[in-house]
Structure 1
């Protein structure tokens, strides 16, 4: 890809499509190249869109952590997709007001920085298939896991993607970046 996309998502992905609970399958195949890629992916990100469940998990874990990712996630603005929470929220967070697709489109138009959609699965799925996410990166781990939500499940209609970047890491992951094919976006 030539220019940095404005709205991105990056998920850890098992070979059979599971994206939920990547801590159960990815840490034995996460090396220096994956860490560097994550650093590049987060550079310039000023806003994170995140589903409520993941936001609650991350807030409880990362808010007090001393870690390179904590240094990123704690101060960044977080936009929480939720139907059960109302503002104001702690942890530099706001509730996504109204339709998430329209909200993220407006956010992309009004912010100077880049936006990443961290999850959950349904949030990434709906924003990507609506054409709001400009680039979807999947770090495909050479692992099959029987349990967990899949990004592209039976609720997703036929969706054609275009591979725009790929690399293989020394620990055996395929890092694949997709956009929606132009005729489908």
Structure 2
């Protein structure tokens, strides 16, 4: 059975929307190593439709010379949770992509059960919230930036049901970012 590993860049107040604000902190090489380990344990990428539509133009033309993560994002199978995107449109948008249909916990469980490795999720806030609510996330990697945004979409918005997590690991990088690894409690 596979596992689901989520990675999110968030501010201290939980904002993850448009993470271009992370650029001023640079990208610590140790962060890159940790992200590479998370991706390396994954055999597929699971994305919500909006994140898929943002990632496709950003990643599909990159090469390993541009970014060491490009082969993972371009060569790995991408599964898109969307009730409006079909397989043909997904594949035409970004190679190795297919639609899983609308958000359905049982369908995600089936996909997860049929994998030997992991499913990697980045961004995809609505999807991540649903996966957490359905207890489908095995590893929640939060990369917490030392900034309070004050506004923007939060990973856990007001009204999110209470959920208990267990801290499994933490790292502090030279750029001030913390990596917090949680699993279900």
Q: TM-score, normalised by structure 2?
A: 0.89
2:168 to 164, 175, 180: 164
> Which residue pairs with 1:79 in the alignment?
79
Shift of 1:119: 3.0
2: CA distance between counterparts of 1:26 and 1:178?
Answer: 24
Structure 1 residues 117 and 41: CA distance shift in structure 2, 3 A: same
- How far did 1:29 drift? 4.0
C-alpha change, 1:103 and 1:26, in structure 2 (3 Å) is: farther
Alignment match of 2:10 (pick from 10, 13, 22): 13
**Secondary structure at the counterpart of residue 131 of structure 2:** helix
Q: Distance in 2 between matches of 1:7 and 1:97?
A: 18
2:133 matched residue in structure 1: 129
Q: Retained in 2: the 8 A contact 1:128–1:136?
A: no
| Structure 1 spans left out of the alignment, 5+ residues | none
Q: CA deviation at 1:180?
A: 2.0
Tell me if structure 2 keeps the 8 A contact 1:12–1:26.
no
- Cα distance change of structure 1 residues 7 and 20 upon mapping to structure 2, 3 Å threshold: same
The number of aligned residues is 177
Report the secondary structure of 2:101's partner residue. Answer: coil
Q: Provide the C-alpha distance between the structure 2 equivalents of 1:145 and 1:25, rounded to a whole number of angstroms.
A: 11
Out of 12, 19, 22, the position equivalent to 2:19 is 22
For structure 2, the 5+ residue unaligned runs are none
Name the Cα RMSD after superposition.
1.6
Select which of 32, 35, 43 maps to 1:35: 32
CA apart distance, 1:157: 0.8
Structure 1 length as normaliser, TM-score?
0.89
**Cα distance in 1, alignment partners of residues 79 and 180 from structure 2:** 26
Query: In structure 2, which of residues 151, 154, 171 is the aligned counterpart of residue 150 of structure 1?
Result: 154
Q: Tell me the CA shift for residue 26 of structure 1.
A: 4.4
Residue in structure 1 matched with residue 97 of structure 2 by the alignment: 93
Structure 1 position 24, deviation (Å): 2.0
